Amino acid sequence: MTQPMHSMPAVDQVSDDTLRRLAGYNLKRAFNVIHADLGEVLAPLDLRMLTFSALTLIADNNGLTQTQLAEALAIKRPNLVVIVDELEGRGLILRNPVPNDRRAHALSATLPGRRLRDRALAAVLAHEARILAVLDPQERLALEQALIRIRGTA
């Protein structure tokens, strides 16, 4: 049964109490804050969180395949193709042939790719330090461990 529509005054103060008790909601809000700020930090380097993560994993794991990279990033392989296309098109990475398996691509970072990765990482670390300044070292560690624990449940 639906109530009749009637005129009502707007509220003065909006209460968040129910949602604030939900870790999922708090996680989303905190992530959005970090993601938006990180986006601004990486934009001058023409990177996003996802392309930065992919470039970093490639630079740190010379020769990994797209399947391995998709797995490491926790995204589906079809979604990785455009990411790899973009990084390759900018000359930051290479799709190398793999001996004895002509289906696979072994990804490697070029020198410009590694240089951009280093610059981006420095910017990201500065961003993290700035955002996490509201937490003391102990809280930071507790946060990291809790997040990795939750991630591990997938």
Partner DNA sequence: TATTGTTATACTCTATAACTATA
Partner DNA sequence: TATAGTTATAGAGTATAACAATA
Tell which positions 70-89 bind DNA, by CB under 7 A.
75-81, 84-85
Site size with DNA, rule: CB under 7 A: 27
- For residue 35 the two structure tokens come to 């993601």
- What sign results for the dihedral spanned by CA atoms 114, 93, 57, 151? positive
- Of these, 95, 108, 110, 132, which contacts DNA (CB under 7 A)? 95
Residue 34 phi/psi, 5° resolution? Answer: -65, -40
The number of angstroms, rounded, from the C-alpha of 72 to the middle of its chain's C-alpha atoms is 12
- Of these, 81, 96, 122, 126, which contacts its own copies (CB under 8 A)? 96
| Contacts with its own copies, 14-33, as mask; x by CB under 8 A | xxxxxxxxxxxxxxxxxxxx
Shortest distance, position 141 Cβ to DNA, whole Å: 25
112 binds its own copies (CB under 8 A): yes
- Of these, 87, 105, 117, 120, which contacts DNA (CB under 7 A)? 105
Task: Say if residue 109 is exposed, middle or buried (CB neighbours under 10 Å; 0-12, 13-18, 19+).
Answer: buried
Shortest distance, position 116 Cβ to its own copies, whole Å: 13
Shortest distance, position 79 Cβ to DNA, whole Å: 4
CB atoms under 10 Å from CB of 104, counted, come to: 16
Q: What is the DSSP letter of 135?
A: S
Distance CA 45, CA 52 (A): 10
Residues that bind DNA (CB under 7 A): 28, 32, 36, 48-51, 65-68, 75-81, 84-85, 95, 100-105
